[in-house]
Structure 1
Amino acid sequence: MSFVNTLRQWDEAVAYVEKGDISSALRTFLAIEEKISKINYNIGCLHLHNDDFDAAEKAFDSSIGKDEHLAVAFFQRGITFYKKEKFEESLLDFQQTFKELRGNQLIDYKPLGLRYKLYACEVLHNIGLLYAKLGKWEKAQENLLTALNLRTEAKFSHIDQALESILKQKLFSLVEIKPGLLFKPNKNYVAELEKKDYLGKAKVLSSIVPADNFSGFAPLQPQVEDVPSTPKAPEVLRALEGEPHTVLYEFIPETKEELAVLPGNIVFVLQRGTDNWASVIFNERRGLVPYNFLEPLDITVASKVVPVRVLFKNTLSSNGVSSGCIVKVHFMFTIVICIKPGQPYTAMLQMISTKLKLPASALTLRYLHELHMTVDESEMQVLWSCVKNNRITLWCSASEVPGLMQNKMVALYSYEASTPEDLAFSKGDVITVLSKVNEEWFEGECNGKTGIFPSSFVIDP
């Protein structure tokens, strides 16, 4: 069978699945003579959906036989063994799945045609369940703690619930792939299956002969002279989403939510938050930029020209270097100020106090976060020497400020930081809770460091 026929049947079978006709889809897949690994995987998923576990196991065996590094096939075969109550074989397949991840936190199969992300933390979640099934509760707890450290998003709350169940020596639910998620053929290849009329039919666009339906070739026709010119419709400035602003200073992002911009760029502000950060659009990309890096634009429309006048202060010197130092300050949220290098500590503290709307006497500034260097008047010379590329980052903490959450809590387990925003601590450490991010995460301070951590890892003393 040719690749074209295989592709056509593959696309037809996927269409049956999207309509909910599983039996027709399975029949079409089985009729394909030369089945590649992805097609065998799809057949196994459909058998698994029909609870035909023996046929599903055989199909996943064929898929792995044709691609021994297809981690998601090991994952699905592990689920099949689990449903057949072959827990030791299931455990081996989940362990092989984790091995095929090769140290990555996830594999996104979307480029291969499967809209699914296989996360390492969810593989470890299932490994923990299998150890629990086999009565090895300590191994189960160890794998779930590793899963907590590897999770990349707060949405994996079921891992916290699984850990709570393990501590009570209770079982929990298996993580499964949603039925109906299959490998689809490349849409570009499928598009080539359709017949195309590259020439098309001739059509008369303009003629001096009324109701002219002629198509073909003809001599040049006489042209009308002195045709009155039609006035050109006036150009209209299209309304763009958001308010236009120009960028005053270069901004280098430190997180994936932030957006890189350069002086002179024009961005459109969608929303300005109370923390002085703005959500903007630039070059069809959205992200966060400090609002005090921006200046509103005054847009005027002439008769046929749409000039944009940029109204902003001259913040650059003659050689193009910014005359102010950009200071990023991490508090319960992040702010940015621009200050002339060499200014005293009191001037900097007052600017930060004004931004945060907190009394200056309650604020403490630090630089070189890893070394916990506190900023005061005697440290300003050293502080200004740490400026690189006209930028510096400070960390701010507040004491005795009404409304700030300052509860003391004790760590139930050790927590290792997986991202720069996480707070690492050991079992038994006392943590000062600064704020509640959501139901599952707190922001706190421990051993001179500040970050976020899972709320299920701590209890009241």
Structure 2
Amino acid sequence: HLTSDTPPPSYITATHSETPKCTAKAREQHASSAQRAEADSVVVKVHYIYTVALSVPLDTTYSELKERVAEKLDQPASHLRLRRKHHGSCVLTPLDGEIESAHTVQQLAEAGRATLWCQKEDPLASRTILYQMVALYDYDAQGPEDLEFSEGDTIDILGEVNQEWLEGHCAGSIGIFPSCFAYRENNNITTSSEIV
């Protein structure tokens, strides 16, 4: 049995901090302003070599979005091309009006989100895209003139060499490939657009 001359600590002198008084109205105002800020912006997920996400206002134009993505990826905007998939399609189509200021992120957004793909482009290639195809298989280049791509890639068709070979553009490269390695999902995907 131990005895001590020291009395137990007194809780009378303990300090108690008051919680900040927050009215229900103040909480509602804070929540609604946060919801408004969320409703006025879009989370854009961009697939590149790696995936990045950024939050942008709904009224951001395609060209402003491209600049923001380029900054985030540390790449020149002139070397990048933003593409998207339409519902039920495997084809990555370039954003319409990427140069026009009338098109905004709001046209891409669904439930406050948008998903895009970013491909590095050859800034010197300013050829007409006849149509687009989707790669069925991986194709490894057999020579320097061949276009290498992976299954699922979107290929911009620049010319038809013959029935068996096509000239295409994919991920910044131009070359030829066997036509049986890709399929044309829709005849009216893109007509007469330019590669920037």
Shorter chain as denominator, the TM-score bin is 0.3 to 0.5
- Computing the radius of gyration from Cα coordinates, the structure with the larger value is 1
The higher-RCO structure (CA 8 Å, 6+ apart) is 2
Query: Which is strand-richer, 1 or 2?
Result: 2
- Give the TM-score normalised by structure 1: 0.21
TM-score of the superposed pair, with normalisation by structure 2: 0.46
Larger proportion of helix = 1
